[in-house]
Amino acid sequence: MSTIFIVGSSSGIGKATAKLFAEKGWTVIATMRSPEKETELTSYENVFIYPLDVTKPEVIENTVSEVLGKYDVDVLFNNAGYGMKSRFEDMTEEAMQRSLNTNLLGMIRVTQKFIPYFKAKKSGMILTTTSLAGEMGLVLDGIYAADKWAVTGVCEMLYHELYPFGIQVKTIVPGVVKTGFKMEMSEMPGFDNLIKNQTEMLMPDMDDLELPEEVAQDIYHAVTDKDSDRMCYVTGKITKELYQKRQELGDEEFRKYIRSSLMKNK
């Protein structure tokens, strides 16, 4: 039996992934900021819940040490995330710090703790939820764009750096998924047309958004894929189309294509 350690499993993609892997017979270490609030994952006998806040190094140290002393972990799944939307010039210091601390530094902190362990056993996988926002510029993503592009870059760097040690590094790239993910919106006068066009591009059918359970299936595929050299798993119809379009057109032509889509009806 294999074991997955999930960061950010209290809801959305992380929770759906915890349930799917548990149903597939995996041992699941489901970590979350407030384990005392969890009522669903507690009903699985092969799910073990631990506290973990990616902004708190001492909590990471305690939980990772305890878990690695008890379980033979095969996969680290970095999935915790904080979302915000803002005009770039309006971002508050607090929101910037929180975003960077959760999405980028949080991922780095937890990954650092697992690398020596995976190196010692000469195997292991580090899978991270990035975002379409880490593959293309989307308006009003603010520092979330910086975090997710940086996380994508860190993963690609580690893909090479950890290969000699038998450690696989993968990313899962969602677009819009129907979860409770909060993208806090501040007032943004003058952006109505841009927001409308971007929303239409990313969510042409609001009744047909990708579900976290569908992302979990793609995560299961990424983890069990025989192609151990593949890094990137894009999930969702629209996200796949946009990702593919960038590869077909090349970066410059893709940017022009997106710009004309965002500026239409102006």
Q: Which of 174, 200, 187 is nearest to 85 (CA)?
A: 187
Examine residue 168 and tell whether it contacts ligand NAP (CB under 6 A): no
Number of residues engaging ligand NAP in binding (CB under 6 A): 30
Examine residue 33 and tell whether it contacts ligand NAP (CB under 6 A): yes
Examine residue 177 and tell whether it contacts ligand NAP (CB under 6 A): yes
Question: Which residue bears the tokens 């059918």?
Answer: 205
Element housing 46 (H / E):
none
Q: Which tokens in the block code for residue 227?
A: 């192609």
Q: Which of residues 197-216 bind ligand NAP (CB under 6 A)?
A: 212
Among 3, 63, 86, 102, binds ligand NAP (CB under 6 A): 102
Examine residue 55 and tell whether it contacts ligand NAP (CB under 6 A): yes
The answer for 52, left when phi > 0, alpha when psi is -120 to 50, beta otherwise, is beta
Residue 148 is among the residues annotated as catalytic for this protein:
yes
Shortest distance, position 234 Cβ to ligand NAP, whole Å: 11
Q: In what order do the strands lie in the sheet with 27-32?
A: 47-51, 27-32, 3-7, 75-78, 125-129, 168-174, 232-235
Examine residue 129 and tell whether it contacts ligand NAP (CB under 6 A): yes
Shortest distance, position 43 Cβ to ligand NAP, whole Å: 18
The answer for 116, left when phi > 0, alpha when psi is -120 to 50, beta otherwise, is alpha
Element housing 244 (H / E):
helix 237-249
Closer residue to ligand NAP, CB minimum distance, 97 or 228: 97
Shortest distance, position 139 Cβ to ligand NAP, whole Å: 15
Closer residue to ligand NAP, CB minimum distance, 22 or 54: 54
The residues near 123 (Cβ < 8 Å, ≥ 6 apart) are 74, 166, 167
Q: Letter for the amino acid at 2?
A: S
Closer residue to ligand NAP, CB minimum distance, 59 or 194: 59
Q: From 61-69, 79-87, 158-166, 186-194, give the range in contact with ligand NAP by CB under 6 A.
A: 79-87
Q: From 74-82, 118-126, 226-234, 241-249, give the range in contact with ligand NAP by CB under 6 A.
A: 74-82
Closer residue to ligand NAP, CB minimum distance, 102 or 111: 102
Examine residue 80 and tell whether it contacts ligand NAP (CB under 6 A): yes
C-alpha–C-alpha distance, residues 92 and 26, integer Å: 41
List the catalytic residue out of 82, 144, 159, 243.
144
Residue 24 is among the residues annotated as catalytic for this protein:
no
Task: Please spell the DSSP secondary structure of 57-90, one letter per residue.
Answer: HHHHHHHHHHHHHH----EEEE----EEE--GGG
> H/E/C letters for each residue in 182-226?
CEEECCCCCCHHHHHHHHHHHCCCHHHCECHHHHHHHHHHHHHCC
Positions touching ligand NAP (CB under 6 A) are 8-14, 32-34, 52-55, 79-83, 102, 106, 129, 131, 174, 176-177, 179-181, 212
Active site residue ranges: 144, 148
